[in-house]
Amino acid sequence: MKRHLLDPQLSQKGYFPLDLSINNPFWKRNDVADISVCHEYIEQQRISHGAFLAIGGYLEQRALYQKNERFNKGIVRDIHLGVDIWAPAGTTVHAMYDGVVHSYAHNSDPGNYGPTLILQHNIDGQTIYTLYGHLSLDDVNKWEVGYRFRESEIIAHLGTPQENGGYSPHLHFQVMTDMKGYQGDFPGVAAKEELEQYKDIVLDPMSFLE
């Protein structure tokens, strides 16, 4: 991994792919929405892979959302648009590139992002936006719209399940070319029927990290 969004010392301990998809037989027998089950599964995977940071989820279809009514209003939104990196609460989160704070919010309803920061970057003349979700509440007071962060600078910390929307601690990272008017928020999960409309707006986050 070329760029480190989490504590570089943890990144040195290596990444392993985490499969939360409906195709993973483990989630047919176990409840992915149960934080302790999820936590235990990640710990086991850490040991069996001999690496520390669990990563994955871009365009992954997840049972997690199929069970949550927040994602089932009219259509089932169960396809994940960002990448998740799983590490303990309190782990530092770092800016992917130099950029300014576009917006931020505490999206506090259960299943949402919790504290969320969006940075705006200029990469070779193109504007892109990076979204960092499931952060710590303490960080929200430190952000200001227009504030400039340098590449790799600490921008936040991972939140606990009590503050991050109710998930095992992880970073939701997503890259957009257009904010579509959103402030401090952007859909992180979509229905299959909606994917076409996000095709040119939500980019593959892994292509920026590898």
Kindly list the residues in this chain that would bind Zn ion in the complex (CB under 5 A): 82, 84, 172
**Which lies closer to Zn ion via its Cβ, residue 78 or residue 84?**
84
CB of 122 to Zn ion, least distance (A): 25
Q: Name the residue nearer to Zn ion (CB basis): 62 or 102.
A: 62
Q: Please state the closest distance from residue 188 (CB atom) to Zn ion, in A.
A: 5
Taking CB atoms, the residue at the shortest distance from Zn ion is 172
* Location of structure tokens 């601690």: 169
Output the smallest distance, CB 207 to Zn ion, in A.
17
Nearer to Zn ion, 4 or 80 (CB): 80
Q: Which is nearer to Zn ion, 94 or 172 (CB)?
A: 172
Q: How far is the CB of 125 from Zn ion (least distance, A)?
A: 29
